[in-house]
Structure 1
Amino acid sequence: MHAPLKDMALVCWDLDGTLIDSAPDLATALDAVLAERGLAPAGLAGVRDWIGNGARRLVERALTARSGNAPSAAELEAAHGAFLDHYRQAPCVETRLYPGVAACLRSLEQRGLKQVLITNKPGDFIAPILQALGIGSHFERTLGGDALERKKPDPVPLLHIARELQVAPERALMIGDSRNDIEAGRAAGFRTLALSWGYNHGEPIAASDPDYLLDSLEGLI
């Protein structure tokens, strides 16, 4: 068995930037919100740098960048609600799986590994996207960023899943594309694996010092 999976019983996957490139659809929804407020579009490049801490933080970063000022609580609340409405209408139009994802999920399932999804994306969007991309059946559990009081980089979601599935932290692997995933995994006592693509606020993921770093999911198959 490949080194990252040795002695593992549970694999926890991040979603955006790890399994799927969702930035195009997120950018469409976000640009609609900005246009309604007379602001310049975020654009795909901006969105890729801002993804990672949930929808509210994404909207806050965009409003701050395009207006030059941090939004008030009321402004952020309204913009966040508008973003969710726009995104809900078309969450998986241009969103695509990264290369090798489907084959890797099948391979790990065939080996008897438990697989779960832990994302900071709001939970309502998870099932429609997984269904549209045909990968939902591989996960025993999915956990959105609004399911618990805390989300990544806090270890609480990871520990919650490990307890629920009765897997010791040292037998769990967190796979992601950003420092949020690696910090959460390390704090939870999980093994950590970073993927070199995806979204990490414009920073090299190697700087987060994961246990493993892969340029291709073939390293797990």
Structure 2
Amino acid sequence: MTTPTIEHVQAVAFDLDGTLCDSVPDLAAAAEAMRGHLGLAPLPAKVVESYVGDGLAPLVHRVITDSRNNEAQAEIWEKGFVFFMKYYRDHLSDFTRPYPETAAGLALLKSLGIPLVVITNKNEILAAELLKQLGLADYFSLILGGDSLPEKKPSPLPLVHAAEVLGIDTANMMMVGDSKNDILAAKAAGCLSVGVNFGYGDMTALSQDKATKPDWIIGSLPEIYENLQPQKDKADEAV
């Protein structure tokens, strides 16, 4: 995929799980502990990984039923959810780590004076705490979780809201993520959609469908800076 013409990028939004950090080890540990608490057998981490992306409430349903679409009985789900949330809060970053070059890529973008935001379907309080524990929180002007607004990705609302807060047009914002939800939200909001090829989503498969094909696929966050840098140089020359 060729790099698109990138102009007037005034903000960059990032997904969290599968884009900035690999959180599956801790999510899988919480899932295993919860299933044990409910008297269920453990699930492989790869299975848990396939259930990530729509927030923690759906994740608990999927982990309990070992199905992407089935819902657990209300009483069992509530018991599992309460246990899962407590366990996960206490073990947010035992094994979760930023992907290679995440901090470097964020620092480079910040050096251009571009505001950065996180738009995740994870609960806002957990997302903010995880970013803090990973040493990434200070890079971001705004953190929106799946429970911050009435709608979450793939709805465009979080991106539209972020653009309003920053005082920019969504056409001048870039959304970087690893999943179908990220690309659909970006397209619906009129943002440039950027897919990462190292996260949990299958970017090759998503690219086969026009509805989920990102405008650009990258292998590391510094690639964003490298393609924005010429704009900065041109601007400097024009002064």
Mark the runs of 5 or more structure 1 residues left unpaired by the alignment.
none
2:97 is matched with which residue? 96
1:168 is matched with which residue? 169
Aligned pairs, how many? 219
1:201 deviation in Å?
A: 7.3
Which whole-Å deviations, capped at 9, do the CAs of 1:176-210 have from their partners, x for residues lacking one? 00000000010011110000121227973424200
Q: CA RMSD in A?
A: 2.0
1:73 deviation in Å?
A: 2.4
Q: Which amino acid aligns with 2:218?
A: L
Indicate whether 1:209 and 2:213 are aligned: yes
1:60 is matched with which residue? 61
2:87 is matched with which residue? 86
**Counterpart Cα distance in 2 of 1:201 and 1:88:** 28
Q: Which amino acid aligns with 1:32?
A: A
**Counterpart Cα distance in 1 of 2:82 and 2:204:** 29
Greater gyration radius: 2
**Counterpart Cα distance in 1 of 2:202 and 2:88:** 21
1:181 is matched with which residue? 182
1:26 deviation in Å?
A: 0.6
Q: Which amino acid aligns with 1:217?
A: L
1:17 deviation in Å?
A: 0.2
1:75 deviation in Å?
A: 2.2
Any idea what SS the aligned residue of 1:204 has?
helix
Q: Which amino acid aligns with 1:215?
A: G
Which whole-Å deviations, capped at 9, do the CAs of 1:47-94 have from their partners, x for residues lacking one? 11110000011111111117xx64122322221221111101110010
1:27 is matched with which residue? 28
Indicate whether 1:151 and 2:155 are aligned: no
Identity %: 38
Which whole-Å deviations, capped at 9, do the CAs of 1:149-175 have from their partners, x for residues lacking one? 111011111111111111101100000
**Counterpart Cα distance in 2 of 1:159 and 1:175:** 15
Any idea what SS the aligned residue of 2:65 has?
helix
1:218 is matched with which residue? 222
Q: Contact between 1:170 and 1:191, CA under 8 Å: does it hold in 2?
A: yes
**Counterpart Cα distance in 1 of 2:42 and 2:202:** 18
**Counterpart Cα distance in 2 of 1:140 and 1:218:** 19
Mark the runs of 5 or more structure 2 residues left unpaired by the alignment.
226-239
**Counterpart Cα distance in 1 of 2:125 and 2:75:** 23
1:3 deviation in Å?
A: 5.0
Which whole-Å deviations, capped at 9, do the CAs of 1:7-42 have from their partners, x for residues lacking one? 100100000000000000011111111011111112
Q: Contact between 1:4 and 1:212, CA under 8 Å: does it hold in 2?
A: no
1:42 is matched with which residue? 43
2:72 is matched with which residue? 71
Higher-RCO chain (CA-CA 8 Å, sequence separation at least 6): 1
